[in-house]
Amino acid sequence: MSNAELNKLKQKYVANGAASPATAFADHAENAEVWDADGNRFIDFAGGIGVLNIGHRHPKVVAAVKAQLDKVMHTCQTVMPYEGYVRVAERLSHLVPVRGHAKVMLANSGAEALENAVKIARAATGRSNVICFDGGYHGRTFFTMAMNGKVAPYQTDFGPMPGTVFRAPYPVDYHGVSEDEAIRGLMMTLKTDAGPANTAAIVLEPVLGEGGFYPAPASFLEKIRIICDELGILMIIDEVQSGFGRTGKMFAIEHSGVEPDIMTMAKSMADGMPISAVVGTDKIMDASGPNSLGGTYTGSPTACAAALAVMDVFEEENILERSQALGEKLAKRFHQWQARYDAVDNVRHMGAMAAFELVSDKHAKTPNAELAGALCKKAREEGLILLSCGMHGNTIRFLMPITIEDDVLNEGLDIIESCLEALTD
Ligand SMILES: Cc1ncc(COP(=O)(O)O)c(C=O)c1O
C-alpha cells in the first residue's frame, strides 16, 4: 500500500488522539535509515524516541528474537516462568547502580515501570505522596500523567488527575532556575504541600528528556540523595530516556556517583521490543506481597531475548565509547552553528544525549518554538527525521542510533545546516 492509501485508512480508522500527524509510513529500516511505503529514504535522528541506541534491527537482536520465536512466545511469567526473565533480572541487578543488592521486576512500557516504582515505594515506606519536577515526563497512564511536569497535550482532555503528586522546580540555569533555587523549591514543596512524613518518593530524570535535554548538576543529585536519606524518602531515578548508553555511560546517574533506591528503564533496553524494568534495593523491591506486581505480558520471552542480546552488544561493540565520541562530534557541529546563526544557542550534551535551543533573541534567551517546528518540518521534507522537545518547545534533540555510520551522520547534519540556512536570516 502507498503512503496515500495508508493515510486514508488512518483518517478513517485510527482515533484522533493516537493518529500521528506524519504522513510517511515506515516500510523497512536498517541501523539509522528508514524507507517509507513509497520507497523514499529517511535518515533517522529520532530512533523511535530514544529506543534504537544500537540501531534499527541490530542483527544480533534480530537473531535472538527469531531463535526465541522458535521456542516459546508466551506463558505469562506468573503462570510458568522462563529463563529469559530471570537472566534479564540477574544481568540488570549487576548493571544498575542502586544501593546494595538489587532485585528486578519487568513490565512493558516506561509508564508501566514508573507506575510500579511508585507502588513499590508506597509499599516500602507506608507513605503515599510523590514529588516530581517541572518539565519532567513519565508517561500517559493516569498516575504518570499526573507526574508529568507539563500539562498540554498529556493532561488537557483527561482531568481530574490523581492526587498525591506534588511538584518542585528542576534546575535549568539557562532559563533562570539555579540549583539553589531548585533545592529551595523542593524544601518548600515538602514543607507546604507534600509533608516529609507523608512522602514516599522523589522521582526525577537525571537528564530531562521530553522536558528539554537539561542534565541535572551532579551536586543537585547529591543534595536530593541527602534530603531523601534525612527524611526517609526513597529516591527514584527515571532513566527511561537517558539509559542504555545514551549519555556515554550505561545510565546517566553514573556521571554523578549517586546511588538511587529505585531506577526505571525502558526504550533502548531491547532495541524496539516492548519491555521495561524497575530495579531497586532488594529490601525495597520485596516490600509488596506475593502476586502484587506483574501483568499478562510483563517481561515477555521475546522481549527478554532482545534485552539480553542488547546487553551483549553493549559489551561487545564499545557502545559507550561510541556514544561519547558521537556526542563530541555533535557538539562540535552545534557550536559552529551557534557561532554562525543568531537563532542557535545553549548547546549541551552528555555523551550522545545532545541538544541545542532555538531562540528569537540570544541575549534575552527568548525561546522560538515556531522555528523549532519549522526546522523539524523542513528536515522531514528533505529526508531527515528530527525531533524537538522542551518545556518551551524550542529544543532540537538528537536521538539517532549511537551506531550511525559517519557518512549518514554527516549527511543528516548537512540537511539541518541547509534548513537553518533557509529558515534564518
Ligand atoms: C523519562 C521518561 N519516562 C517515562 C516515559 C514513558 O515511557 P513509555 O512511553 O514507554 O510509556 C518516557 C517516554 O518518553 C520518558 O522519556
Q: How confident is the model at residue 423 (pLDDT cuts 50, 70, 90)?
A: very high
- Could you count the other beta carbons within 10 Å of the beta carbon of residue 4? 11
Taking the C-alpha atoms of residue 359 and residue 412, their distance in angstroms, rounded to an integer, is 22
Using the mean position of ligand 1's atoms as its centre, give its distance from the Cα of residue 265 in Å: 9
Label residue 416 exposed, middle or buried (CB < 10 Å: 0-12, 13-18, 19+).
buried
pLDDT tens digits, 407-421: 999 999 999 999 999
Q: Does the beta carbon of 241 lie inside 6 Å of ligand 1?
A: yes
Taking the C-alpha atoms of residue 100 and residue 89, their distance in angstroms, rounded to an integer, is 15
Q: Does the beta carbon of 397 lie inside 6 Å of ligand 1?
A: no
Average pLDDT of the residues of the chain? 97
Q: Identify which of 114, 138, 278, 388 to mutate to test ligand 1's pocket (most ligand atoms within 8 A of the CB).
A: 138
Q: Atom 16, ligand 1: which residue's CA is nearest?
A: 241
Contact 234, 201 (CB under 8 A): yes
Contact 403, 322 (CB under 8 A): yes
Contact 210, 46 (CB under 8 A): no
Residue 425 has pLDDT above 80, yes or no: no
Q: Which three cell numbers stand for residue 328?
A: 563530541
Instruction: Return the pLDDT at 96.
Output: 97
* Domain chopping of the chain, boundaries: 3-54+318-424, 62-316
Residue 362 has pLDDT above 80, yes or no: yes
Contact 143, 150 (CB under 8 A): no
Bridge partners for 167 per DSSP: 132
Q: Does the beta carbon of 113 lie inside 6 Å of ligand 1?
A: no
Q: Identify which of 241, 387, 388 to mutate to test ligand 1's pocket (most ligand atoms within 8 A of the CB).
A: 241
Q: How confident is the model at residue 326 (pLDDT cuts 50, 70, 90)?
A: very high
Residue 366 has pLDDT above 80, yes or no: yes
- Which residue, chain included where needed, has cell 519549522? 374
Taking the C-alpha atoms of residue 63 and residue 93, their distance in angstroms, rounded to an integer, is 25
Using the mean position of ligand 1's atoms as its centre, give its distance from the Cα of residue 208 in Å: 11
Average pLDDT over residues 18-22: 90
pLDDT tens digits, 262-304: 999 999 999 999 999 999 999 999 999 999 999 999 999 999 9
Q: Does the beta carbon of 211 lie inside 6 Å of ligand 1?
A: no
pLDDT tens digits, 191-245: 999 999 999 999 999 999 999 999 999 999 999 999 999 999 999 999 999 999 9
* Assigned fold of 3-54+318-424: Aspartate Aminotransferase, domain 1 (3.90.1150)
- Could you count the other beta carbons within 10 Å of the beta carbon of residue 140? 16
Q: Does the beta carbon of 240 lie inside 6 Å of ligand 1?
A: yes
Contact 355, 348 (CB under 8 A): yes
* Assigned fold of 62-316: Aspartate Aminotransferase; domain 2 (3.40.640)
Task: Classify 338 in phi/psi space as left (phi over 0), alpha (psi -120 to 50) or beta.
Answer: alpha
Instruction: Return the pLDDT at 336.
Output: 98
Using the mean position of ligand 1's atoms as its centre, give its distance from the Cα of residue 139 in Å: 5
Using the mean position of ligand 1's atoms as its centre, give its distance from the Cα of residue 240 in Å: 6
Using the mean position of ligand 1's atoms as its centre, give its distance from the Cα of residue 28 in Å: 24
Using the mean position of ligand 1's atoms as its centre, give its distance from the Cα of residue 9 in Å: 28
Residue 247 has pLDDT above 80, yes or no: yes
